[in-house]
Amino acid sequence: MERDTSNASGCSSAGMDAMKVTVDIDCTPEEARRFMGLPDLSSVHAIYLAKMERMIDDGITAENVETMVRAWSPMGDAGMAVWRQMFEQMSGTAKR
């Protein structure tokens, strides 16, 4: 008994290569966010920008930078060590 290799349209898929399809969508970032069901974070973004502007106006200190990097670091102290090492290497103060 021979196995049927045809798909729903009746075309045989035996020996056929896969088809690549590209779709271009022209939309704004807001339209894309809504289409993908992502939350609107514009209010959070506004708060973040206001905080950053306040830090710049008050003067950025080493403590501010450390606090900011800690917030961005997903691995806590181990992540901070990676950041510290990267900055030391970039500034030429790395221990040899």
DSSP classification of residue 6: B
Residue type, position 65, single letter: V
* Predicted local distance difference test score (pLDDT) of residue 66: 78
* Predicted local distance difference test score (pLDDT) of residue 50: 92
Residue 59 within any structural domain of the chain: yes
Residue 3 within any structural domain of the chain: no
Residue 47 within any structural domain of the chain: yes
Q: Residue 74 in contact with residue 83, Cβ under 8 Å?
A: no
Q: Which two tokens stand for residue 21?
A: 């399809």
* Predicted local distance difference test score (pLDDT) of residue 72: 72
- Given a cut of 60, whether residue 39 has pLDDT beyond it is yes
DSSP classification of residue 16: P
Residue 64 within any structural domain of the chain: yes
Q: Which two tokens stand for residue 64?
A: 């501010």
Residue 12 within any structural domain of the chain: no
Give residue-wise pLDDT tens across range 4-13: 555 655 555 6
Residue type, position 40, single letter: D
Residue 33 within any structural domain of the chain: no
Residue 7 within any structural domain of the chain: no
Residue 79 within any structural domain of the chain: yes
Please tell me the total count of domains within the chain.
1
First-to-last alpha carbon distance for the chain, in angstroms, is 73
Give residue-wise pLDDT tens across range 49-91: 998 888 888 887 778 777 877 777 677 777 778 878 888 888 8
What residue numbers bound the domain in which 75 lies?
40-91
